[in-house]
Structure 1
Amino acid sequence: MNEIKSSHTVKLPVKDGCVYNKSIEKFISHFEIVSFDVFDTLLFRKTLRPEGIFHYIECKTNDKGFAERRIKAEEIARNINFMRHKSHETTLTDIYQVLYEDFVQQTQGMERELDAERHFLRCYTKNKEIYDIARSLNKKIIAISDMYLPAETINEFLEENGIFVDEIFCSSTYYKENIYKGNGSIYPLVCRELNISPEQIVHFGDNYNSDLAQSISSGISAVHTSTVMKELLSDSRLNLDTINIIKDKNNFESNIILGLMAKRHTEGYFDKNPSIKMFGYLYSGLLMIAFIKNILEISKKENIKKILLMTRDGFVIKRVMDALGISDIDYEIFWSSRRMCLAPLLSQPSQYDLAFPILFPYRDGASYNLKNDLERLYLKVPVDFKNIEEDDYATYIDKIKNMDVFWSHVIDDERDCYLGYLEEEIGSTPLSQVAFVDVGWGLSSHQAIDALLNKEITGFYVGTREGAYATPKIHGILFQEGKPTELSNAIMSGVELVELMFSDSSPSAIRMKKDGQKYYPVLETRNAADVSRDWYVHEIHHYMMDFISDISPYFSIMSADTLKDMSAESMFNIITNATSNEQEVLGEIPHAREVGHSNFLPISNWWRMEKPHVEPADEPQDNSPDPQAGWTQAEKDSFALYGRILPRSEKIGRQVLNPIVGKNRADWLIKTWNRNKRKIKSYMK
Structure 2
Amino acid sequence: MKELLRRKLESDPIRAQSYARHRLHHGRAFALYHALKDRDGAKLLHPDRHRTVVFGSESALKRRPSPTQAAKMLADHDVISFDVFDTLLFRCVDDPTTLFHIVGAQLNVLDFPALRIAAEREARRGVPHGEVNLEQIYAQLALCGIDAQRGMRLEWELECACCHANAYLLDIVRMLAAQGKRLIAVSDMYLSAKQVAHLLEKSGYPPFAQVFVSCEHGANKASGELFAIVRRQCGEAHSYVHIGDHPHSDHLSPRRHGFSVLRYANVHTLGDPHRAHDLSVVTGSIYRGLVNAKLHDSDARFSMAFELGYVYGSLLAIGYCQYLQEQRRRLGLDQLLFLARDGDILRQVYALLYPQERADLIYVPWSRSAGIQLLAEAWKPDYFRRFLTHKCNQGLTLTQVFSAMGLEGLLPLLNQERSLDPGSELTAHEETQVRSFLLDHFDQILQCYERRRAGARHLLEPWLSSPGRVGVVDIGWTGSAAIALRALGEQWGWQKEIIGFLVGSDALQDHLQGGRTCGAHALGILHSYVFSSAQNRALWKQHDPASGHNVLAELLFASPAPSLKCFSQTAEGATQLCWKPKEKHSERYAQIQQGILSFTKDYLRLVPEVLRQRRIQGDDAYAPLRLLMDACNRPYLEEVLSWMKDNHV
- The normalised TM-score by structure 1 is 0.66
> By how many angstroms is 1:154 displaced?
1.6
Distance 2:101 2:146 in 1: 22
Match of 1:533 in 2: 585
2:518 counterpart of 1:463:
no
2:567 counterpart of 1:511:
yes
* Residues 380, 410 of structure 1: 8 Å contact kept: no
Match of 1:42 in 2: 88
Distance 1:255 1:536 in 2: 28
Alpha carbons of 1:519 and 1:163: their partners in 2 closer, same or farther (altered >3 Å)? same
Alpha carbons of 1:562 and 1:311: their partners in 2 closer, same or farther (altered >3 Å)? closer
Q: 1:158 aligns with which of 177, 181, 200?
A: 200
2:289 counterpart of 1:259:
yes
Match of 1:149 in 2: 191
Alpha carbons of 1:342 and 1:163: their partners in 2 closer, same or farther (altered >3 Å)? same
Match of 2:164 in 1: 121
2:477 counterpart of 1:441:
yes
Alpha carbons of 1:74 and 1:372: their partners in 2 closer, same or farther (altered >3 Å)? closer
2:542 counterpart of 1:487:
yes
Match of 1:501 in 2: 556
Partner of 1:532, secondary structure, is: coil
2:401 counterpart of 1:355:
no
Q: Which amino acid aligns with 1:149?
A: L
Q: Which amino acid aligns with 1:462?
A: V
Match of 2:464 in 1: 426
2:365 counterpart of 1:338:
no
> By how many angstroms is 1:488 displaced?
1.4
Match of 1:591 in 2: 645
How many residue pairs were aligned?
A: 547
2:170 counterpart of 1:170:
no
> By how many angstroms is 1:43 displaced?
3.0
Pairing of 1:189-268 with structure 2 (within 5 A): 189-193=229-233, 196=236, 203-211=242-250, 219-221=257-259, 223=261, 225-230=263-268, 232-233=270-271, 240-241=273-274, 243=275, 245-246=276-277, 249=279, 251-268=281-298
Q: Which amino acid aligns with 1:469?
A: R
Partner of 2:622, secondary structure, is: helix
> By how many angstroms is 1:79 displaced?
2.2
Distance 2:154 2:235 in 1: 39
> By how many angstroms is 1:93 displaced?
3.8
Partner of 1:332, secondary structure, is: strand
* 1:535-589 deviation digits (Å, cap 9, x = unpaired): 2222222233222221234497548775532442322332445769846853653
> By how many angstroms is 1:289 displaced?
1.8
* Residues 451, 569 of structure 2: 8 Å contact kept: no
Alpha carbons of 1:501 and 1:124: their partners in 2 closer, same or farther (altered >3 Å)? closer
> By how many angstroms is 1:126 displaced?
5.2
Q: Which amino acid aligns with 2:569?
A: K
In the alignment, structure 1 segments of 5+ residues that lack a partner are 1-14, 235-239, 598-685
Pairwise CA RMSD = 4.6
Q: Which amino acid aligns with 1:437?
A: V
* Residues 40, 124 of structure 1: 8 Å contact kept: no
Q: 1:523 aligns with which of 564, 578, 585?
A: 578
Distance 2:164 2:151 in 1: 22
Match of 1:76 in 2: 119
* 1:506-563 deviation digits (Å, cap 9, x = unpaired): 45151253887x8634223x43xx3433222222222332222212344975487755
Distance 1:228 1:207 in 2: 7
* Residues 455, 569 of structure 2: 8 Å contact kept: yes
- The normalised TM-score by structure 2 is 0.69
Distance 1:520 1:44 in 2: 52
Distance 1:132 1:353 in 2: 68
* Residues 166, 297 of structure 2: 8 Å contact kept: no
2:289 counterpart of 1:288:
no
> By how many angstroms is 1:414 displaced?
4.5
Distance 1:196 1:255 in 2: 42
Q: Which amino acid aligns with 1:436?
A: V
> By how many angstroms is 1:279 displaced?
0.9
Distance 1:452 1:19 in 2: 63
* 1:632-684 deviation digits (Å, cap 9, x = unpaired): xxxxxxxxxxxxxxxxxxxxxxxxxxxxxxxxxxxxxxxxxxxxxxxxxxxxx
2:519 counterpart of 1:477:
no
Alpha carbons of 1:541 and 1:186: their partners in 2 closer, same or farther (altered >3 Å)? closer
Distance 1:124 1:575 in 2: 33
Match of 1:641 in 2: none
Alpha carbons of 1:322 and 1:149: their partners in 2 closer, same or farther (altered >3 Å)? same
Partner of 1:523, secondary structure, is: strand
Q: Which amino acid aligns with 1:262?
A: N
Q: 2:604 aligns with which of 552, 557, 561?
A: 552
Match of 1:570 in 2: 624
Q: Which amino acid aligns with 2:477?
A: W
Alpha carbons of 1:397 and 1:96: their partners in 2 closer, same or farther (altered >3 Å)? same
- The one of the two structures with greater contact order (alpha-carbon pairs below 8 A, sep at least 6) is 2
Q: Which amino acid aligns with 2:596?
A: M
Partner of 1:592, secondary structure, is: coil
> By how many angstroms is 1:384 displaced?
13
Partner of 2:473, secondary structure, is: strand
Partner of 1:546, secondary structure, is: helix
Match of 1:674 in 2: none
> By how many angstroms is 1:151 displaced?
1.1
Distance 1:154 1:366 in 2: 64
Alpha carbons of 1:480 and 1:559: their partners in 2 closer, same or farther (altered >3 Å)? farther
Partner of 2:106, secondary structure, is: coil
Q: Which amino acid aligns with 1:356?
A: F
Distance 1:171 1:277 in 2: 41
Q: Which amino acid aligns with 1:532?
A: K
Match of 1:616 in 2: none
Match of 2:424 in 1: none
* Residues 42, 127 of structure 1: 8 Å contact kept: yes
> By how many angstroms is 1:122 displaced?
0.9
2:337 counterpart of 1:311:
no
Partner of 2:94, secondary structure, is: coil
* 1:373-418 deviation digits (Å, cap 9, x = unpaired): 6654235959998975366533543453355654554545644654
User: In terms of Rg, which structure is larger?
Assistant: 1
Partner of 2:475, secondary structure, is: strand
> By how many angstroms is 1:67 displaced?
10
Percent identity, please: 19
2:438 counterpart of 1:400:
yes
* 1:430-463 deviation digits (Å, cap 9, x = unpaired): 3xx3322222234444443344345994322233
Distance 1:229 1:194 in 2: 30
Q: Which amino acid aligns with 2:83?
A: D
Match of 1:628 in 2: none
Distance 2:412 2:393 in 1: 30
Alpha carbons of 1:208 and 1:334: their partners in 2 closer, same or farther (altered >3 Å)? closer
Q: Which amino acid aligns with 1:394?
A: T
Partner of 1:461, secondary structure, is: strand
> By how many angstroms is 1:311 displaced?
1.6
Alpha carbons of 1:462 and 1:270: their partners in 2 closer, same or farther (altered >3 Å)? farther
